[in-house]
Structure 1
Amino acid sequence: MKRSLTLAATMLGLALLSGCQSNQGTTPPPTGNSNTVSATQPLGGSLTVSVPRAITPNIGSGELRVAGLTSRSAKLEVTQAPSSLSISAGAAVALNTGELSLPFTYTGTAKNGDVVRLSVTADGKTGNVEVPVMNFGTLPISAAGLSAQYHAASLRFTASRQALFASTLSGNAVERLNLVQFDPSSSAFSLVPFGISNSAEAITSQTQTPDGKLWVTVRGMTAKGSYLVSRDSGGSTQTYWADAAGDTVNNLNNLSDGKLWFTQSTKDAIKSLNPASGTVTPYAVSEQADSLIAAPDGKLYYAAFYARPAIVQLDPATGSSKSFDVGEANRSLPIGLKAAPDGSIWFIEARGGTVWKLDQTTGTQTQFPLPQGARPSEITFGPDGQVWVSDATNALLYTTFTTSNGQKTVYGLNAQTASSTPDGPNALATAPDGKIWYVAAGQLVRQQ
């Protein structure tokens, strides 16, 4: 039997509001973005319904959005839901996009993979939508000297499946000078020191080499400049100067050749360190290099911007490079590079608020659909290639979902935060077991 939730909405002023768009920032959204997160279900004519959020039981609220209405009411029905999940409707809200928001709340439990099916009747037409259930659990990040609102800039996993967090540069001295380690077997956090004594300095990136050593780049604040530090399993550390006086090094990667590769901010250079000899070798780039990553094809990729925005492939064996122009000259800002399981390179165009896939074998670039107003910050992938995108500005995650009829849609998930102030998702990553992890408001948030 259907559970009927009738939502009567007073649409006073909707006609006036429908011609207005909310201010989404100084950068206009790129052509092709829709006003909703998910693909819309046509109800007939111009009438459509969509679901901007997945159901996350410990969040407890969601909504449908109906566009193209001429009437003043709509009816929401729950046609299928787990018996353990109770759903009820709230008051409908007219949005300045011209849409009608039909909010609902839910209590109880449901498991990952469950689907809630809803139908909306409006203007004499009915459409159906499917809403996936996605569960995340939270755990406060706590260790000696950490603030209650610990902010993570990155998350990496060691060969032994320990999680290592690096702080943002705005963290306190303890946070900036140490990594934070999380042991999943004991759910305990601890500090990993690197012998950094200057409280003004900061770890900027991290990696682990096949010999088990942990490595970090450090923003140095002395005349000798920035440097790298290695730490072995016994806790012994060794410093390697990066020939970067008065500059910052970042984006640390290790390759099968045994070298450590990193970027240097203002010198427009990528550098490699040979740990055996201590030799630092620079590779000049034509534009500032950022977001350096090592891809499965054995190549390095980085983002170049300013006059000629591009994703650049660097062959570490020869030093030769190949450039793929992206975005708009003198405007676009590609960041956040990530290699997908299929080897393609994904990146964020920060000024446009878009996410793109680059097939480096053909040069083809494909845009990943995101809502108007999205501000993507990081990308990761599930074990099946499922795309996850964080939006720290709007405290959201976006991910793909395939409905029973084979339609692929993009849903948003409210980030789990301990306060009403948006803080995260940050340090988005895929754990060794394929689950999605991130940090928000001083909490580690893990997919269940």
Structure 2
Amino acid sequence: MTRTPSFTFHEYPICDDGCGPYDIAMGADGALWLTLIHHGQIGRLTPTGHITRFSVEGAKGLSRIISGPDGALWFTEFKSHRVGRMTLDGRVSSFPIPGEGGPYGITGGPDGALWFTLLNNDRIGRLAPDGELREYPLPTQGGYPSAIVTGPDGALWFTLNQTNALGRMTLDGTVTLFPLPTPSAAPVGATAGPDAIWFVEIIAGQIGRMAMDGTVTEFPLPHRDAKPHAIVAGMDGTFWFTEWGGNRVGRITGTGAIQLYDLPTPASEPHGLTLGPDGAIWIALEKGRVARLEPLRQ
């Protein structure tokens, strides 16, 4: 399974090979915003390829980034234990997280707050617009909560990489866990569909779909050693995912049909990806590039 003529690739150089674009999000200004995990910077990439980089003082392990409910960019700093906020003109505010929790996944909740996972201490954090911080413990030990998204039911859904489950948390902190059928599947990335949560199993080499009642359907990838990393909803009821181990990006339909696209640069280490307003898929490549998978005009 390889790239078909209906799509074309273009790559934008961002920085040297070691800077590490890790995650990518579409901003309220129509630009793409990136975490440069190894340089402690946030990058802004215009659709025409112009890059601006903003330093985040003291940042270590810049991880996930989203466009928040307030139009600013919100991001996690796994190693410096902070949640950060950047305005569209590059001004930064930092919110320290007590302890050694390691914030990683982040999403905007239906209550206007930012919700995030704490990899190292089995908790979900909530940061209110006024800066108030709360943490909710999970009924796990060493679960490694990773991605977090707001589901179509208004609850927070998150992957538990080492517990091999997905979790659901209501806004009052009530948690329900849903084990996965494949042992040691190691779920990581997740995204919300109109009626389900879609997620990737990095060790099992599968894409998963969890209905709101906890029913799981798993779709094996053609290459079980592909190490899928992140997943995002497309515009046409499909979902796109990165294969970190296979140097590919993939597309899966709601019924499980899979199409794979080889990335042009060898060993480019694809991680986060996002959907552009024109239907293009933008992919963060840790080897200093961003790729655009663009649908050809008919």
Shared fold, TM over 0.5: yes
| 2:102 matched residue in structure 1 | 248
- Whether the 8 Å contact between 1:390 and 1:398 is mirrored in structure 2 is yes
| 2:210 matched residue in structure 1 | 358
Distance 1:208 1:158 in 2: 6
1:55 paired with 2:4, answer: yes
Partner SS, residue 394 of structure 1: coil
Distance 2:126 2:11 in 1: 38
| 2:293 matched residue in structure 1 | 447
CA drift at 1:304:
2.2
- Whether the 8 Å contact between 1:369 and 1:410 is mirrored in structure 2 is no
1:207 pairs with one of 55, 62, 66: 66
Distance 1:426 1:156, change over 3 A: same
| 1:319 matched residue in structure 2 | 173
Q: What's the CA shift string for 1:208-262, capped at 9, x where partnerless?
A: 33332222222455xxxx2223233454433322223x34112122223232211
Distance 1:409 1:271 in 2: 36
Unmatched tracts of structure 1, length 5 or more: 1-51, 57-111, 113-133, 402-406
Q: What's the CA shift string for 1:29-60, capped at 9, x where partnerless?
A: xxxxxxxxxxxxxxxxxxxxxxx32335xxxx
Distance 1:202 1:393 in 2: 21
CA drift at 1:337:
1.3
| 1:239 matched residue in structure 2 | 94
1:180 pairs with one of 43, 58, 61: 43
CA drift at 1:319:
1.6
- Whether the 8 Å contact between 2:234 and 2:279 is mirrored in structure 1 is yes
| 1:437 matched residue in structure 2 | 282
| 1:293 matched residue in structure 2 | 149
Unmatched tracts of structure 2, length 5 or more: none
2:26 pairs with one of 157, 166, 169: 157
Distance 1:433 1:377, change over 3 A: same
Map 1:408-423; keep pairs closer than 5 Å: 409-417=257-265, 421-423=266-268
Structural RMSD (CA) = 2.6
- Whether the 8 Å contact between 2:73 and 2:86 is mirrored in structure 1 is yes
The structure with the largest alpha-carbon Rg is: 1
CA drift at 1:328:
4.4
Distance 1:230 1:190 in 2: 17
CA drift at 1:409:
4.7
Distance 1:178 1:368, change over 3 A: same
Distance 1:220 1:356, change over 3 A: closer
CA drift at 1:444:
2.1
| 1:332 matched residue in structure 2 | 185
CA drift at 1:432:
2.0
- Whether the 8 Å contact between 2:161 and 2:188 is mirrored in structure 1 is no
| 1:368 matched residue in structure 2 | 219
Paired amino acid for 1:395: N
Partner SS, residue 203 of structure 2: coil
Partner SS, residue 138 of structure 1: strand
Distance 1:326 1:242, change over 3 A: same
Partner SS, residue 352 of structure 1: coil
Distance 1:53 1:248, change over 3 A: same
Distance 1:408 1:426 in 2: 21
- Whether the 8 Å contact between 2:86 and 2:93 is mirrored in structure 1 is yes
Map 1:77-156; keep pairs closer than 5 Å: 112=6, 134-141=7-14, 146-148=15-17, 150-156=19-25
Give the TM-score of the pair, scaled to structure 2: 0.86
1:229 paired with 2:77, answer: no
Distance 1:160 1:346, change over 3 A: same
Distance 1:155 1:233, change over 3 A: closer
Distance 1:437 1:178 in 2: 19
Distance 2:88 2:76 in 1: 18
- Whether the 8 Å contact between 2:21 and 2:290 is mirrored in structure 1 is no
- Whether the 8 Å contact between 1:260 and 1:273 is mirrored in structure 2 is yes
Distance 1:398 1:239 in 2: 35
Between the aligned residues of both structures, percent identity stands at 22
Distance 1:447 1:204, change over 3 A: closer
Distance 2:271 2:77 in 1: 20
Q: What's the CA shift string for 1:386-445, capped at 9, x where partnerless?
A: 2323212121223358xxxxx98533221121xxx4223332221122211213443322
- Whether the 8 Å contact between 1:259 and 1:274 is mirrored in structure 2 is yes
Distance 1:155 1:413, change over 3 A: same
Paired amino acid for 1:191: R
Distance 1:140 1:305, change over 3 A: closer
| 2:251 matched residue in structure 1 | 399
Structure 1 stretches of 4+ with a deviation exceeding 4 A read none
Distance 1:358 1:163, change over 3 A: same
- Whether the 8 Å contact between 2:77 and 2:84 is mirrored in structure 1 is yes
